[in-house]
């Protein structure tokens, strides 16, 4: 009987996100605007070029049902000619007991992973990231 009770307590704790974790998806859901990349505000120069690439806007929308979408823009400039290009991404997301969040694309690749901090998220870009050279810290804020 004791093992059954302990087992039920563990299952209940995991279902609620565990100690110190997220009680439900609604804690994370909302619209987050990218405020910095590697500690620098937007617009953020991805590459000095040529062509020069600049991240100009990015919005991450997290839905309670476990899905997410990302929209934004970046520009490339070559020979004085600027071209604005869209950012469109999305998929599903999960969270762990330690406030860790992972955003997964439909093809199964990780778009972002990091930490939910209440009104902000600090995320590292997965495969297909914009910024070369190591871990990218993207800070999104509600």
Domain ranges of the chain: 2-141
Structure tokens that stand for 56 in this block: 């100009």
**How confident is the prediction along the chain (142 residues), in pLDDT tens digits per residue?**
433 333 333 233 333 443 344 546 788 999 999 999 989 999 999 888 889 999 999 999 999 999 999 999 999 999 999 999 999 999 999 988 778 999 999 999 999 999 999 899 999 987 655 555 556 789 999 9
pTM value is 0.79
Q: Per-residue DSSP letters for 30-98?
A: EEEEEEEETTEESSEEEE--SSEEEEEEEEEEE-TTSEEEEEEEEEEEETTEEEEEEEEEEEEEEE-TT
pLDDT at 31: 98
Q: How far is residue 2's CA from residue 5's CA, in Å, rounded to a whole number? A: 5
DSSP state of 26: G
The candidate with the shortest Cα–Cα distance to 111, out of 121, 120, 99, 97, is 121
**Of the CATH numbers 3.90.550, 2.40.128, 2.60.40, 1.10.3470, which one belongs to the domain with range 2-141?**
2.40.128
pLDDT at 98: 77
């Amino acid at each position: 009987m004791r093992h059954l009770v302990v087992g039920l307590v563990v299952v209940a704790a995991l279902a609620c996100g565990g100690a110190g974790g997220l009680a439900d998806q609604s804690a994370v859901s909302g619209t987050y605007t990218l405020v910095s990349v590697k500690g620098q505000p937007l617009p953020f120069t991805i590459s000095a070029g040529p062509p020069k690439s600049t991240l100009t806007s990015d919005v991450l929308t997290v839905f309670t049902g476990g899905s997410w979408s990302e929209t934004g823009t970046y520009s490339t400039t070559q020979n004085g000619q600027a071209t604005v290009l869209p950012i469109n991404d999305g998929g599903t997301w999960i969270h762990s007991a330690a406030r860790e969040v992972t955003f997964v694309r439909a093809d199964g690749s990780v778009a972002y992973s990091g930490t939910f901090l209440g009104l902000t998220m600090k995320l590292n870009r997965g495969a297909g990231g914009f910024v070369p050279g190591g871990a990218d810290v993207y800070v999104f804020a509600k």
